[in-house]
Amino acid sequence: MRPTLALTVSLALSSFAVCAPLVPAAYAAGASDTDQERAARWQEIAKSIFGDRKIEPTDTLVTLDTPKRAEDAALVPITLSMPERDKIKSVSLVIDDNPAPYAAKFEFGPAADTRELKLRVRVNNYTDMHAVVETTDGKLYEAKQFVKASGGCSAPMGMSDEEAMKGMGDMRMKFADAHPDKPVAATLMIRHPNFSGMQMNQVTREYTPARYIDKLTVSAGDQTVFTMTGDISIASNPVINFSFKPDGKPIQVAASDNQGGRWTHSFPVPSQTN
């Protein structure tokens, strides 16, 4: 089953039914793989995403903080730190052993501050996780972490699909205290089940079709902060912590999902305090 994973790397999956049969295999594999096997898998995935481009390791351009052992495989908090803002064009998060490994890509705009980006993901197996940044000069650099968790993609929601979809598209934004000439830290919360396609519907006993946020754009006024391309590995009710350079205009958020859902919200930025 393993090679199949590489075939489903694409972020643009239209349906995830194909992955249901993978579940039992995914349970069994992963925890005992050798470093060599993991490295080989990463080579395969990296090639399918980045082609033959060289990816160099980095300790500075991006660091990846993960819990060593996740408390809840369906909600694994991840922190990406990219302190050298001017050098960063985009960052991709890859969860090697997830059924769709390419979890998210963030492309940063002029209003972005990249020093800290947090999101919550699902982890289906003991896995390497990779953050790959593309620098403004077109080079790729990677950071890696090993995470112990399993079952996050197929874990039942603990509620009916209808309940899970309640309020879908609702958003909230929280802003940390703003200071003049400093980036503002913000938390974006979106109500959305982000169905993985691997969770069983409680009533029909069929797999709930994948329904996930596939595009999310956050702008400060006319300036883009980031555009995220997402997949089933993002946890339900996505929460993203990011920073931006305020210019006094409201933050605009536009989200869409793979089933045609589309939502936009505008959030006034609190005035700066001295």
Partner 1 sequence: MTAFAVRPKRSGSPGGLSRRHALLGGLCLCCAATAGLSARAYAEAFTMEEVGPGIFIRKGLIADASPENVDAIANIGFIVGRDGVLVTESGGSLADGQWLRGQIAKHTDKPVTHVVLSHVHPDHVFGAGAFAAEKPVFIGHAKLREALDARGEFYRQRLIDLFGAERTGPVVYPTMSVADTAEVNLGDRTLSFTAHGPAHTTSDLSMRDSRSGLLFPADLLFVERIPSLDGSLKGWLKELERVKASGATQAVPGHGPVRVDLAPAVADLTTYLTALRDGTKAAIAQDIPIDKAVETVGQDQSGKWQLFEHYNRRNVTVAYQELEWD
**Dihedral sign, Cα of residue 119, residue 120, residue 124, residue 128:** positive
Cα gap 79→83, rounded to integer Å: 12
For partner 1, what does the binding mask look like between residues 220 and 239, x meaning CB under 8 A? Answer: -----------------x-x
Tell me which residues in 95-134 interact with partner 1 (CB under 8 A): 118, 120, 126
* Residue range at the interface with partner 1 (CB under 8 A); choices 135-143, 197-205, 210-218, 266-274: 197-205
Residue type, 116: E
CB of 238 to partner 1, least distance (A): 12
CB of 13 to partner 1, least distance (A): 22
Contacts with 151 (C-beta within 8 Å, 6 or more apart), sequence order: 27, 73, 74, 124
Q: In what order do the strands lie in the sheet with 262-267?
A: 55-57, 140-147, 127-135, 88-95, 102-108, 223-230, 213-220, 251-257, 262-267
CA 143: distance to chain centroid? 15
For partner 1, what does the binding mask look like between residues 62 and 101, x meaning CB under 8 A? Answer: ---x-x-xxxxxxx-x-x----------------------
Q: Does 156 sit near partner 1 (CB under 8 A)?
A: yes
CB of 29 to partner 1, least distance (A): 12
Cα gap 201→205, rounded to integer Å: 5
Q: What angle do CA 249, 250, 255 make, to 5 degrees?
A: 135
Positions in the binding site for partner 1 (CB under 8 A): 24, 27, 31, 65, 67, 69-75, 77, 79, 118, 120, 126, 148-152, 154-160, 172, 174, 176, 185, 187, 189, 191, 200, 202-203, 205, 237, 239, 241
